[in-house]
Amino acid sequence: MKSGGFFRRKRKTEPAASASNEAAKSAISQTSRVNTTSSNNASAATPSKTATNAAARPDQTKSTAATKSIAATNSQKLANAIKAVKKKPPQLNVEDFSIYKIDEDTVVSTTERICKNVPPPAWSTPSDAELFIDEEKFLPNIEFLRNHFIREGRLTEEQTLKILTKATELLSEEPNMLDLEAPITICGDIHGQYFDLMKLFEVGGDPANTRYLFLGDYVDRGYFSIECLLYLYALKINYPKSFFLLRGNHECRHLTEYFTFQVECRHKYPESVYEASVESFCALPLAALVNQQFLCVHGGLSPDLKTLDDFKTIDRFTEPPVSGLMCDILWADPSETFGTDRKEESFLPNTVRGCSYFYTYSAVCDFLERNNLLSVIRAHEAQDEGYRMYRKTRNNGFPAVITIFSAPNYLDAYKNRAAILKYEKNGDNYVLNIRQFNSSPHPFWLPNFMDVFTWSLPFVGEKITDMIISILNICSREELDEITEFDPIPMSALLASSETSLPASSTNTPAKTEASLPASVEPAHSKVTTAPSTLVYASSTGSIASKDFDSNISSISEPHEFNKNDLKIDTSIVHENEDMSDLKNSALRNKILAIGRMSRMFQILREETETLGELRTKSGGTLPQGALLAGVDEAKSQLRSFQEAREADIQNESMPPSPNERTPIEAEKMRRRSRALSQDETLNSPVLKEILAKVEAEEAAAAAAKASTSSAGTK
């Protein structure tokens, strides 16, 4: 009984069982009944038990069916889950934005350096023992010179002049038209791309074992022109019988002054190096006949070129003229409709170059047939693939004209490939093989060899004006439009009133006078303590402080109280001070607005200097006409493909104006700029106009001096 009572008491005190426990008990009970029923059926239970089991059989059937249904459902779910895991689709390929594809063959990671390590630049010039293998014969050490220039090293003036002078002597001994035999590798324009020139020799072969013919344009447009020229001349000195150089249209004083070569020489070497380089240009041969089959020139044909003997009549030791046979050899181009010409003329005016001619398909075929040649091989034009083969001739089925261009990614904008033409032996026959290559990384130069301090001036100017504006913008425009609450009033103006009375000593009671105060001044008491160099202010509370006031109140040794009756202030002085405040506020507002315009100007300069510098560099120093009509961003976005870059640069393919012609052109540009500035209200400032006038005067003086120097040099 005790134990039963204990359990009964415990049941009363314990909380009720959870629903889950009840469900578990019910399941056990059902299972027990099922087992009991099975046992009774097997042992032939008593009639009463049989009847009970018979009554419970419908519930048992329902329970078994429900259990089977749940099990089947769970099995199906499990099977579906396994199938889903097995047939799980592959993860989507997420694009890796750190991978950048430069071209078809080059893929780099933006999280890593393209150049893993950079050798230190060559700070010192080499000694003659390092540079020359044989100092008596002035034979340069090619391998040393190559690596020295890769490290952006420079030579001394004497060493540079030795190479230029020796090369000029060798070139002067050669005829106007070279007669060369195969095998030989023919190369096109280089244009100051020294690091791509090194790639060319990797593709074409070591000059010590390979014969080379270059078709001109070694300088200008690129920033390593003097390195290209000196290295090519060094190869010529070392291999005079297997290394040959022809003259291009850029090998002259006129174009090198207009483009980048003169600026580069003056930046890296003394003026004498540039003069020696120009002198060497005049010694370069004009043409080459390869294997008695191919005429190699820089530009093309001329109406005055009938036979190969006409080359002998040219005096090449001079500046190229603007017309005639020598000009056409350097400047002429195949016609834009070469091979589909419908006009009967053989030569058409060259509107792209501004001089010379376009020669047609019929003109080339006639010349080749007349001289028993296969083709004309030339350079002079950038090509997207580095080469172009024109329509085949009428007789032998060989391309009438082949253009080779060996400067990849010309101006860092064209995105073109470069090519060289290898005319080599294959068994018993000679074949022409074209090998292409892409551009190589190279050091970066700011436009026109600008130093970083000059380049950063717009940025510095913008930041300085931002600082000034931040200081001046302590007062908002609304505050500036109102009269400042505290405005300086000269103490002498206050003391000028004969009615102003001060105490004689600190012990005496101050004399009381009538005070005439403006309506804005309310009666109030204020304390004044003597202190030297204290400013005087009139405030809405009517308080004052003194400046150099010791002489007037020297007798005051302790703070003295004044009330509104101590001073009588002339109202006209206050109104005059209000007018002064308005003027000062107006002047301050004008200063803020002027500095704001200046800040905007510096901001625009900073944002567009790099873009314009890049466009100007890619355009040869001068932006094409109308290049900025649609905006700088639009002009920059247009340089996306070879054709677009070429169209943007087409103006710089023409012969530039002479120095005498350039002066009036620049003067007209200055006049147009002045008119534009005078119409711009945001720049309508006397100070700015004075600055612009000085700049224009300096530019005009520099242009005139440059023109006179060029004229003297030409003479």
Cis peptide before 240 (omega within 30 of 0): no
Rounded Cα gap, residues 618 and 645, in angstroms = 8
Cβ contacts of residue 231 below 8 Å, gap of 6+? Answer: 145, 146, 149, 194, 197
Give the residue among 378, 265, 247, 230 at the shortest CA–CA distance from 318: 247
Q: Which 8-state DSSP code applies to residue 447? A: G
Residue in 148, 191, 250, 442 annotated catalytic: 250
Answer yes or no: 191 catalytic: no
Rounded Cα gap, residues 435 and 59, in angstroms = 91
SS (H, E, C) 630-653: CCHHHHHHCCCCHHHHHHHHHHHH
Are the CB atoms for 301 and 328 separated by under 8 Å?
A: yes
In angstroms, the first-to-last Cα distance of the chain is 141
Rounded Cα gap, residues 40 and 28, in angstroms = 18
Structure tokens, 216: 């001109």
**What number of H helices and E strands is found in the chain?**
22, 22
Are the CB atoms for 110 and 100 separated by under 8 Å?
A: yes
SS (H, E, C) 646-692: HHHHHHHHCCCCCHHHHHHHHHHHHHHHHHHHHCCHHHCCHHHHHHH
Residue appearing with tokens 């096109």? 188
H or E element at residue 710: helix 686-714
Cβ contacts of residue 498 below 8 Å, gap of 6+? Answer: none
Structure tokens, 49: 């038990």
Burial profile 212-230: b = 16 or more Cβ within 10 angstroms, e = fewer: bbbbbbbbbbbbbbbbbbb
Rounded Cα gap, residues 7 and 3, in angstroms = 6
Helix (H, G, I), strand (E, B) or coil at 398: coil
Give the residue among 191, 275, 272 at the shortest CA–CA distance from 229: 191
Q: What is the DSSP string of 264-283?
A: HHHHHS-HHHHHHHHHHHTT
Region of 67 on the Ramachandran plot (φ > 0 left; ψ -120 to 50 alpha; else beta): alpha
CA dihedral (247, 243, 135, 196) positive or negative: positive
Are the CB atoms for 122 and 152 separated by under 8 Å?
A: yes
Active site residues: 250
